[in-house]
Amino acid sequence: MVSVAVVGAGAWGKNHIRVFSEIPNVRLKYICDQDSSKLMSMQKSFPQSKGLDCLDPILQDPEVRGVVIASSAISHAPLAKAALMADKDVLVEKPMALNPKDAQEMLNLAEKQKKILMVGHLLVYHPAVDRLKEMVTSGELGSIHYIYTQRVNLGIIRQDENALWSFAPHDLSVILYLLKEEPTIVSAHGESYIQKGIEDVVFLSLRFSDGKMANIQLSWLDPHKLRKVTIVGSKKMVVFDDMEASEKLKIYDKGVGSPSYATYGEYLTLRFGDITIPSIKMKEPLRTEAEHFIQCIESRKEPKTGGRDGLKVVNILVAAQQSLEKKGTPIPLQGR
């Protein structure tokens, strides 16, 4: 039996509470939140867990092996550091920190304490993203030319962070997971239409050393709700649409090539092949993520989304924020 605690009982924290309470051989011993109304609500639904308004009893309890940090982003780093210092394994929500210094300190502390530091990059645990990874790694798509993603809807309008910090960690974590390389240059354009100084709309561009590029559209001021990832390769193209109920992936056997015979016409030819919709066995990504955290606690293996992955995302976010503040000036990532 692995005992864990969830810190943060807000909109996303309550999903962690539900999932960890459902995993066999896991005891959700504590739920922690400073908001008494949220805490009371969660205790009514999960009476087997003790409610706390401070972290100390969790840190002092030797039975607790894992701590899940699902509080506000500004508290991620200090709470995770405290848990690591108390000899706890940690799953911290995205972004793991608001600056590279804190993220690096968390990583160093986890290594020093020999503790698990896992970051909640949820989409990496999505079955459709696993299929995308297989396609990229196997060469089924050919050489990857570019990727673009869309994460837009109307609301929820945040007051404590902009659309970049709220949405981009999802797409950045997927792009880094698929390509297994970091961009060399980051640029971002955005505007604050609703609240001064908080960008509601952001267009983020990443450039890679081998010529690949990725573009990310982010907004909570849009008439559509879109959660899409499009990958264009030299052989095939694929679209992951997370808003689709069943047809999550569509593979397009389309591309541009050279004819295999002499011709007086155009040298390049367009290929229009079949559209394939692979069968994806769906499972709630958050459940998969939570189970993986428990497996890492028990086996001591490196998480699929570890601290180093989280640090890479934070580095890009900070560079993108700098670019936003400089009206889209490209920011190099070398040396970060």
Task: Annotate 60-93 with b (16+ C-beta within 10 A) or e (fewer).
Answer: ebeebbbbbbbbebebbbebbbbbbebebbbbbb
pLDDT digits (tens, 9 = 90+) for 291-319: 999 999 999 999 999 999 999 999 999 99
Other residues' Cβ atoms within 10 Å of the Cβ of residue 290: 25
Domain that holds residue 251: 124-283+315-332
Sign of CA dihedral 101, 102, 108, 111: negative
Q: Return the number of other C-beta atoms located less than 10 Å from residue 45's C-beta.
A: 12
Residue 260 lies in a domain: yes
Mark whether 129 and 182 lie in a shared domain: yes
Residue 104 lies in a domain: yes
pLDDT at 255: 73
Same domain, 150 and 7: no
Residues 79 and 100 placed together within one structural domain of the fold? yes
Co-location of 170 and 92 in the same domain: no
Residues 37 and 148 reside in one and the same domain: no
For residue 256, name the pLDDT band (cuts at 50, 70, 90): confident
pLDDT digits (tens, 9 = 90+) for 176-192: 999 999 999 999 999 99
For residue 264, is pLDDT > 60? no
- Evaluate whether 117 touches 307 at the Cβ level (below 8 Å): yes
Q: Is residue 85 part of a domain?
A: yes
| CATH number of the domain encompassing residue 186 | 3.30.360.10
* The model's pTM: 0.94
Q: Give the pLDDT of residue 254.
A: 79
Residue 47 within a domain: yes
Rounded to an integer, the average pLDDT of 188-199 is: 97
Residues 220 and 244 in one domain: yes
What local confidence, expressed as pLDDT, does residue 284 receive?
98
Q: What pLDDT shows up at residue 76?
A: 99
Q: Is 210 among the domain residues?
A: yes
**Residue 96 forms part of a structural domain:** yes
Residue 121 has pLDDT above 90, yes or no: yes
Counting the structural domains of the chain, the total is 2
Q: Are residues 129 and 255 in the same domain?
A: yes
In a domain, 293, yes or no: no
